[in-house]
Chain A
């Protein structure tokens, strides 16, 4: 028995298995909850790492669930994009829950913490499932798990804003899933397959017979996944949901969950739909328009916010715009930039949310104006916040610069300098709302005596330090991950 050949299944199933076990542990062996959760996610992370090396050396491979070959059974497809996204999800997810193991004691009632770990493991498993599955119905099932679990980690907090935000999020997510399922039905009707590869083979023929049907399906898919990924006009749920949730939840929702939907969209658009169909209607131009609006308007909304988490949430709307900008430009560099931004933004935004959580943990302050001089009392979170802010603005030697650079190059490659200008303007806007916080935190002294903030435990500081180290590391040595991102983009574009 060769254990490593089953990693594609185990990377999803091990977190699931321990999630099923978690309520029992929470009832009878409370002290095991944290180590078991961390262990399960570490396992998934190592499995993802192993698969990255495997894919880089021997190329993409697939795994047949239940030994049934593809059109009959469910296939997991382990390609460059899938392992890259799985590595991002498990790696950043691990750091967030490590941080959360202390922060949650502060934010949640003790009897629900076990449930939080359950939901968190299910969320991680479903996100990995979404990115590695090669079957549209299987993807739908994981989308639903992901939707309910992400609402669950919002509504778990004892505040009425959370409940209301979770309800709004749930209703819109379900609408999105409904649209996705309807699109899946339409695609199945004209292709007779649920597997992406077989669908892609059958679609050119179906396109000649039922072009409108496919266009409606494509529209439904974009709307369905767009609602979940908070693409601009469909983002209405995001600010409330991401700002009211407990800090680890905000970090995972903003950093990972919305990106996973973007990955799903990338796979469907590039690997399933034939290029000619995208030519029938200006789909890509629509996506570009939406993402441009997202970048500009999201940043503008972020400028006027006073609540630190709300500001970060609006900034996420702008940042998901970058990812979709990379998707819509259809050039190699732009796609590299978009995929890279999925990873970079996952690290930066989780770090920013965790740092904001640390401020709230230490001082209880949520307002930007209350954060004056926090750099002197809480140095490590503030430095992490600054690094994150610099990366958001796109200052060189941070990883945010690299992805913006590739996006800008990609826009020039296809002869659309307009989008390069958009990226520059948005960097300016990002600067307007991030840099004052940094300046305030270090250089302004408040007159009144500030109470000594609560001391942060190691479990919260180490993940922050690791994330800031990562942001710098991948800013200085982007070649560490550029190889796999390039191959992912080339595979998607069929180069």
Chain B
């Protein structure tokens, strides 16, 4: 796609979209939203980047190695928090019972494991969207090469 307006506008709004996505993820325990919605916003911003510039530029920003590390780490953070709860003497995925500090309600750093898990889910969702998008698009390119 070689559209000047699309490129210019998306270059302008991309940072805001990503910042907003990050905001939604980090404030998941305080306001509407959370890991899924925020992760989806971040993922969508990367897809917008790839669509308005081109695929090569997009995959240069996020290589396959990095995206597969991100995918695994998002899920591993989640499962790891559960295992930490067990190590702390509570049941799997316990929060208050495992002694995570709940902090002052309303603060950014509050509610123990919830914030961390939300962050992990955010990473997971964003990287999943990006990976699926790129792998489907790349497949399309390959089949064009074949024919």
Chains A and B form a bound pair: yes
- Residues of A bordering B, CB below 8 Å: 1, 6, 9-10, 13, 16-17, 20-21, 23-24, 27, 63-67
* Partner of A1 from B76, B79, B87 at Cβ < 8 Å: B87
Interchain CB contact under 8 A, A9 and B92: yes
A13→B79 contact, CB < 8 A:
yes
Q: A63-B92, A66-B93 are in contact. List 11 more A-B contacts (CB 8 A).
A: A9-B86, A17-B76, A20-B72, A21-B72, A21-B76, A27-B65, A27-B68, A65-B92, A65-B93, A66-B97, A67-B91
Chain A CB within 8 A of B90 CB: yes
Contacts of A6 in B (CB 8 A): 86, 91-92
Given A9-B82, A9-B86, A27-B68: A20 touches B93 (CB 8 Å cut-off): no
Which residues in A have their C-beta under 8 angstroms from that of B79?
Answer: 13, 16-17, 20
Query: Which residue from B76, B82, B89, B91 sits with its C-beta under 8 Å from A63?
Result: B91
A13 touches B82 (CB 8 A): yes
Cα A10 to Cα B93 with chains together (Å): 11
Q: Does B83 contact A23, Cβ atoms closer than 8 Å?
A: no
A24 with B91: CB separation less than 8 A: no
Q: Which residues of B contact A (CB under 8 A)?
A: 65, 68-69, 71-72, 75-76, 79-80, 82-83, 85-87, 89-95, 97-98
Q: Which residues of B contact A24 (CB under 8 A)?
A: 68-69, 72
Instruction: From B65, B72, B83, B94, give the contact of A13 (CB < 8 A).
Output: B83
The answer to whether B68 and A1 touch across the interface, beta carbons within 8 angstroms, is no
Q: Tally of A-B residue pairs with Cβ under 8 A?
A: 53
CB-based contact B89/A20 at 8 Å: no
Nearest neighbor of B69 in chain A, beta-carbon distance: A24
Q: Which residue of chain A is the closest to B124 with respect to CB atoms? A: A20
- B95: A residues at CB distance < 8 A: 66
Given A9-B82, A13-B82, A16-B79, A67:B72 Cβ within 8 A = no
| Main secondary structure on B side of the interface with A | helix
Given contacts A13-B79, A13-B83, contact A1 B89 (CB under 8 A): yes
Question: Can you list 15 A-B contacts (CB < 8 A)?
Answer: A1-B87, A6-B86, A9-B82, A13-B83, A13-B92, A17-B76, A20-B72, A20-B75, A20-B76, A21-B72, A21-B76, A23-B72, A63-B91, A65-B92, A66-B97
Chain B residues near A63 (CB-CB < 8 A): 91-92
Q: How far is the CA of A1 from the CA of B82 in the complex (A)?
A: 15
Chain A min CB distance to B97 (Å): 4
Q: From B68, B72, B90, B94, name the one whose CB has the most chain A CB atoms within 10 angstroms.
A: B72
Decide if B68 touches A66 in the complex (CB within 8 Å): no
B94 touches A66 (CB 8 A): yes
Q: In the bound complex, what is the Cα–Cα distance between A405 and B80 (angstroms)?
A: 47
Cα-based distance from A401 to B82 in the complex (angstroms):
44
When distances are taken between beta carbons in the complex, the residues of chain A under 8 Å from B92 are 6, 9-10, 13, 63, 65-66
Residues of A within 8 A of B80 (CB): 17
Q: List residues of chain B with CB within 8 A of the CB of A9.
A: 82, 86, 91-92
Contact among A1, A20, A67 for B97, CB-based, below 8 A: A67
Given A1-B87, A17-B79, residue A23 in contact with residue B68 (CB < 8 A):
yes
Interface centre among B68, B69, B82, by most chain A C-beta atoms within 10 angstroms, is B82
Contacts of B98 in A (CB 8 A): 67
Tell me which residues across on chain B come within 8 A of A65, comparing CB atoms.
91-93
Give the complex CA separation of A64 and B90 in angstroms: 10
> Could you tell me the distance between the alpha carbons of A169 and B75 in the complex, rounded to whole angstroms?
27
Write out the residue numbers on chain B whose beta carbons fall within 8 Å of the beta carbon of A64: 91
The CA of A27 and the CA of B68, in the complex, are separated in Å by: 9
